[in-house]
Amino acid sequence: MNAPVEALPMAEWRRVFEVNLFGHIAVTQALLPELLRTKGRVINISSIGGKYAMATYGAYAGAKFALEAVSDSLRREVAPLGVQVVVVEPGGVRTEIAARGIATANDLAARMTPEQDRRYGDLVRANNRLMASGTASGLTADAAAQVIVKAVTTRRPRPRYTAGRDAALIMRLGRLLSDRTLDRILAANLRRHYPKGAIA
């Protein structure tokens, strides 16, 4: 659900958080007594967007940032009780999510006011192109599943696993560069996807 912060209706913000945050919490609460009894493991599927948010990804990234925080808190609560909590942070994965995301972004863009379209229309179109190209060149679903298998089966798992070269690269850059420098790099990457003649 990608749309500019200004243009995304509040009901859609709530829906994104219901699916990407509150759903995780509800399942965790329901299963935690058994996980505590069996010394089980919680694997939360986050996203590279849970650490670094791109333009128009505010709702999705916001929910994933929150999931990262909840996972950290839960890990520190239940580690002394024998339960491990692991976060998997994929980048682009070749699934149907991009096509559905682009269709939803186009639907949301069609509902923007004329002023919002002037401000953000080219940005939305550029992000759609970037999403399509990033997914096409992304990790296969099988490769992403192998990272999840590792998180599930490793005896002493790390708190976080990235999945995909793009995720690993952005994580490294994010640790090394200032926010402004990272903003410029992300903007330059996005600029290549703007419609011809558009001002990025």
Catalytic residues: 60
Q: Would you state the structure tokens that stand for residue 77, as one six-digit string?
A: 């609560």
3-state DSSP assignment of residue 44: strand
Looking at residue 80, the DSSP 8-state letter turns out to be G
HSE of 60, CA atoms in CB hemisphere, 13 A: 19
How far is the CA of 103 from the CAs of 112, 128, 152, in angstroms?
A: 15, 9, 33
Please identify which residue in the block is written with the tokens 């939360």: 44
List residues bridging with 139 in a β-sheet: 93
Q: Is the dihedral of CA 3, 198, 137, 166 positive or negative?
A: negative
C-alpha to C-alpha distance for 160 and 13, rounded to whole angstroms: 26
